Amino acid sequence: MAVLSLDHPWAFAFGILGNIISFMVYLAPLPTFYRVYRKKSTEGFQSVPYVVALFSSMLWIYYAFLNTSVSLLITINSFGCVIETIYIVMYIIYAPKKAKIFTVKILFLLNVVIFGLILLLTLFLSEGPRRVRILGWVCVAFSVSVFVAPLSVIRLVIRTKSVEFMPFFLSFFLTLSAVAWFFYGLLSKDKYVALPNILGFTFGVAQMVLYLIYRNKKPAVIEVCKDPELGLAIGKISATEKGAEVHPIDSKSPSSSDEESSEQGEQSNNDRAIISGNGGVESTGNVEV
């Protein structure tokens, strides 16, 4: 790392910046898990984003060990592995039985079976630069698939004409993260780090533009269906002069449904943070490769 900082000072600077921004993004779900701990319930939150973020971090750590020119990926993704593991353990402790079983299954499939196969195939069927290339393209493919996730948020904003589930500053910092990791990859001459973050930057800018367009718009009427097995109400959001209101269809009170709608929005935002960073978080292998 000392050699990197001397030979490529700008790459080192962008790597440090990417680490700092991604570190903050990884901590975005802390309020959610504090509430989970306090209420002893996951309240219908999903575990998939945290499992995917852990898998992304593991991939980028492996890649960084093979390609030492991007060693700054190791620091942020190591932190990502630790914090995502904590999130997942807490989720398993407090989730309903059905959600626990699903989480354990997907954790085993993605982080044990698939990662194990990638590890074994790259170690025994390739070597040297070829191994780095193969793993690099695997990381790029996974990161691109993760970066497509914001499309659902963009679609929701356009349909509802509301930016409730797309806070500006989260989009802003995820875009900054993509910019930092792009220049780190570019200046380090590593296309596998740089390429996915072009997509991350593009989606980040698109989200901020949508925020500016719809920030003062009245929300459109939209039906919101939630899974009753996870303890969530079924209701609809309608436009009023004062903004969006949630009208429950089940026996829960309007205030209860409003609170759940707000918590769903927070979880949606956390999911975006988790999966967005080359650290492994929109990655949660850099917190955005």
Q: Which two tokens stand for residue 234?
A: 């079924």
Phi, psi (degrees; rounded to nearest 5) at 43: 55, 35
Specify the DSSP element, H or E, that contains 112: none
For residues 153 and 170, the answer to whether their CB atoms sit within 8 Å is no
For residues 284 and 273, the answer to whether their CB atoms sit within 8 Å is yes
> Hey, which residues does 245 pair with through a beta bridge?
238
Confidence of residue 270 (pLDDT cuts 50, 70, 90): low
Of 107, 229, 202, 224, the C-alpha closest to 148 is 202
Please give the span between the terminal C-alpha atoms of the chain, in angstroms, as a whole number.
Answer: 20
Q: DSSP readout, 78-89? A: HHHHHHHHHHHH
Which residues touch 256 (CB under 8 Å, ≥6 apart)?
A: 233, 248
Confidence of residue 165 (pLDDT cuts 50, 70, 90): low
pLDDT surpassing 60 at residue 226? no
More confidently predicted of 60 and 268: 60
SS3 of the chain: helix, strand, coil, percent, to 5: 70, 5, 25
Question: What pLDDT was estimated at residue 267?
Answer: 56
- Residue 69 to residue 67: CA distance in whole angstroms: 6
Confidence of residue 62 (pLDDT cuts 50, 70, 90): very high
Confidence of residue 133 (pLDDT cuts 50, 70, 90): very high
Confidence of residue 117 (pLDDT cuts 50, 70, 90): very high
Q: Which two tokens stand for residue 39?
A: 């209420």
Question: What's 280's DSSP letter?
Answer: S
More confidently predicted of 72 and 1: 72
Specify the DSSP element, H or E, that contains 245: strand 243-248
Task: State whether residue 246 is helix, strand or coil.
Answer: strand
Confidence of residue 254 (pLDDT cuts 50, 70, 90): very low
Instruction: Give the torsion sign (CA, 120, 61, 42, 144).
Output: negative
Of 3, 284, 23, the C-alpha closest to 150 is 284
Which residue bears the tokens 């999911």?
271
Task: State whether residue 237 is helix, strand or coil.
Answer: strand
Question: What pLDDT was estimated at residue 243?
Answer: 42
For residues 218 and 239, the answer to whether their CB atoms sit within 8 Å is yes
pLDDT surpassing 50 at residue 182? yes
For residues 143 and 275, the answer to whether their CB atoms sit within 8 Å is no
Of 75, 227, 222, the C-alpha closest to 162 is 222
Indicate the burial class of 206 (C-beta count within 10 angstroms; 0-12, 13-18, 19 or more).
middle
Helix axes 97-108, 48-66, angle to 10 degrees: 20
Question: What's 148's DSSP letter?
Answer: T
